[in-house]
């Protein structure tokens, strides 16, 4: 696999890079100007947004009367009063030019049901895009993304979250690609019959032979292999097999926050050779290590109280309220997100960084980045740390476009190759 050396990337993009680690912190006004200029030249290409799941959960995919121009009033119809974090007005304010919409469905041992549900999610997302032609433009290629951006539209792509959505069938994978899916996360929170997840007990030791064929077939199709949610062994196996750049659509750096959903240095060090990117997530529990430790202590206390006051939930609720008052959740800010970007840059280079907010898939982003309007503040923070305009443009969208083009080029080189026909025994259906 060709190594994507920084000097070669810089020359190819006509950019001169400056090290933020060596630069002095920029004044706030100057940093904001640099960030705004970068996002004007290269709008955000975000790797992961869960609006499609919100449509399923809130309105059962019945969107003919749904207003996506402004979702600020959606809390009234939510059991906890939660307002959606995304709409067309706020995407524009956030300088978002391209978005991978996650056509996620929950992990399901009945994989046939998962296949049906993901097709429904593709349908509702494509219908949403079609309903807003002035704001959104469906895209399947890097060229289409760039054309949409140039016309002031938000290029809208489909990303599948969780390999259970293909029903352990390469035929289904191919047909979902034909419907427009341009990446697939190999697992979600649970293992698939062919890949281990980061947050489940490992059973395969990474990828099975069928799982490796999934990666090969995705490469042949030009479909991005997404390694967010998978175990470290699965990440490493995928990098061994992949002939095109991989992505992490919404992850952080494990050296900064030890959550298993983040990317360890063992994998970051291999990214430059593969050409892949980590699209840095905004979810506070993956960003702030202090917050992760706080949550572990809180969970332990809740488990202790439930054991102590069995059958007396009111006592547990009362005691937890006192615990929360005495031990408030540590604040997570944009600076924590920037720390992950700094670390990935130090280990893998600026060419290995993108942005994958995970909005509408989490309760809130960090302070100052609670919804999709926050990207300019993040980029101002990076500029203040010394990142150049050229580097900010790479992080915003140029790296993601380069990865898409590399995947498309590899697929074009494989145009004469027959589809892989490997079979896997389907899992037993639940009784």
Q: Contact 100/125 with Cβ under 8 angstroms?
A: no
204 is catalytic: no
Q: What is d(CA 270, CA 145) in angstroms, rounded to the nearest whole number?
A: 27
Pair of tokens at residue 399? 């790296």
336 is catalytic: no
**Which value, in Å, is the radius of gyration of the alpha carbons in the chain?**
21
| Residue 266, CA distances (Å) to 180, 235, 254 in order | 32, 10, 10
- Three-state SS annotation for 123-137: HHHHHHHHHCCCCEE
Q: What is the pLDDT of residue 77?
A: 79
Closest CA to 379 of 10, 39, 21, 97: 39
Pair of tokens at residue 239? 């990098």
29 is catalytic: no
Q: What is d(CA 289, CA 385) in angstroms, rounded to the nearest whole number?
A: 21
Q: What is d(CA 260, CA 251) in angstroms, rounded to the nearest whole number?
A: 10
Q: Which entry of 50, 232, 342, 371 is annotated as an active-site residue?
A: 50
Q: Which entry of 229, 336, 340, 343 is annotated as an active-site residue?
A: 229
Q: Which entry of 87, 146, 161, 351 is annotated as an active-site residue?
A: 161
Q: What is d(CA 196, CA 187) in angstroms, rounded to the nearest whole number?
A: 7
Within 8 A by CB and 6+ apart from 42, the residues are 97, 392, 393, 394, 396, 397, 398
Residue 355 has φ and ψ, to the nearest 5°, of: -130, 130
Q: Which long-range contacts (CB under 8 A, 24 or more apart) does 142-146 make?
A: 142/401, 142/404, 142/405, 142/408, 145/45, 145/98, 145/401, 145/404, 146/401
Residue 152's region, left for phi above 0, alpha for psi from -120 to 50, else beta, is left
Partners of residue 160 on adjacent β-strands: 184
164 is catalytic: no
Q: What is d(CA 240, CA 218) in angstroms, rounded to the nearest whole number?
A: 14
Q: What is d(CA 153, CA 93) in angstroms, rounded to the nearest whole number?
A: 13
Q: What is the pLDDT of residue 21?
A: 38
Q: Which entry of 46, 237, 358, 371 is annotated as an active-site residue?
A: 358
Q: What is d(CA 194, CA 187) in angstroms, rounded to the nearest whole number?
A: 9
Give the model confidence (pLDDT) of 330-377 as tens digits. Answer: 999 999 999 999 999 999 999 999 999 999 999 999 999 999 999 999
Model pTM score: 0.91
DSSP string, 102-160: E------S-HHHHHHHHHHHHHHHHHHHHH-TTTEEE--SHHHHHHHHHTT-EEEEEEE
Q: Which entry of 164, 177, 188, 336 is annotated as an active-site residue?
A: 188
343 is catalytic: no
| Residue 128, CA distances (Å) to 61, 69, 84, 305 in order | 10, 11, 15, 45
In this structure, the chain runs to a length of 431
DSSP string, 357-409: --BTSSS--SBT-SSGGGHHHHHHHHHHTT--HHHHHIIIIIHHHHHHHHHHH
Q: What is the rounded (10 degree) CA torsion for 223, 140, 129, 82?
A: 40
Q: Which entry of 177, 204, 250, 340 is annotated as an active-site residue?
A: 250
Q: Which entry of 46, 48, 204, 351 is annotated as an active-site residue?
A: 48
Helices (H), 25-106: 28-41, 51-59, 88-93
Chunked into runs of 10 residues, the chain (431 residues) has average pLDDT values of: 36 35 64 97 98 96 97 88 96 98 93 96 98 98 98 98 97 98 98 98 98 98 98 98 98 98 98 98 98 97 97 97 96 98 98 98 95 98 98 98 98 97 68 57
Give the N- to C-terminal CA distance of the chain in Å, as an integer: 46
């Amino acid at each position: 696999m060709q190594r994507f050396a920084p000097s070669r990337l810089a020359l190819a993009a006509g950019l001169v890079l400056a090290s933020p680690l060596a630069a002095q912190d920029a004044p706030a006004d100057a940093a904001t100007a640099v960030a705004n200029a970068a996002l004007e030249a290269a709008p955000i290409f975000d790797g992961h947004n869960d609006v499609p799941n919100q449509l399923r959960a809130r309105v059962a995919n019945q969107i003919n009367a749904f207003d996506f121009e402004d979702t600020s009033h959606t809390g009234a119809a939510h059991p906890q009063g939660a307002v959606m974090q995304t709409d067309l007005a706020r995407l524009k304010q956030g300088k978002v030019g391209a978005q991978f919409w996650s056509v996620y469905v929950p992990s399901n041992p009945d994989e046939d049901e998962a296949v049906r549900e993901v097709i429904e999610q593709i349908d509702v997302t494509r219908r949403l895009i079609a309903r807003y032609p002035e704001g959104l433009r469906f895209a399947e290629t890097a060229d289409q993304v760039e054309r949409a951006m140039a016309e002031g539209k938000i290029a809208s792509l489909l990303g599948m979250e969780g390999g259970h959505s293909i029903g352990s069938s390469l035929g289904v994978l191919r047909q979902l690609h034909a419907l427009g899916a341009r990446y697939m996360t190999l697992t979600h929170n649970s293992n698939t019959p062919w890949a281990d997840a980061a947050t489940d007990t490992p059973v395969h030791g990474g990828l099975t032979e069928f799982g490796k064929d999934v990666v090969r077939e995705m490469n042949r199709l030009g479909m991005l292999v997404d390694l967010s949610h998978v175990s470290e062994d699965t990440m490493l196996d995928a990098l061994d097999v992949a002939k095109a750049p991989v992505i992490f659509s919404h992850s952080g750096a494990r050296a900064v926050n030890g959550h298993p959903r983040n990317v360890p240095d063992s994998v970051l060090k291999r990214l430059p050779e593969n050409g892949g990117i980590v699209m840095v997530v905004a979810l506070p529990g993956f960003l702030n290590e202090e917050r992760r430790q706080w949550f572990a202590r809180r969970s332990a206390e809740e488990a202790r109280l439930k054991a102590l006051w069995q059958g007396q939930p009111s006592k547990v609720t009362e005691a937890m309220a006192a615990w929360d008052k005495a031990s408030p959740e540590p604040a997570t800010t944009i600076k924590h997100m920037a720390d992950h970007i700094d670390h990935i840059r130090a280990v893998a280079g600026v060419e290995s960084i993108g942005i994958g907010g995970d909005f509408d898939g989490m309760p809130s982003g960090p302070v100052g980045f609670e919804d999709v309007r926050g990207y300019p503040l993040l980029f101002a923070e990076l500029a203040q740390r010394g990142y150049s305009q050229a580097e900010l443009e790479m992080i915003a969208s140029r790296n993601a476009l380069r990865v898409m083009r590399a995947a498309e080029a590899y697929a074009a080189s494989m145009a004469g190759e027959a589809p892989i026909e490997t079979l896997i025994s389907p899992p037993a259906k639940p009784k």
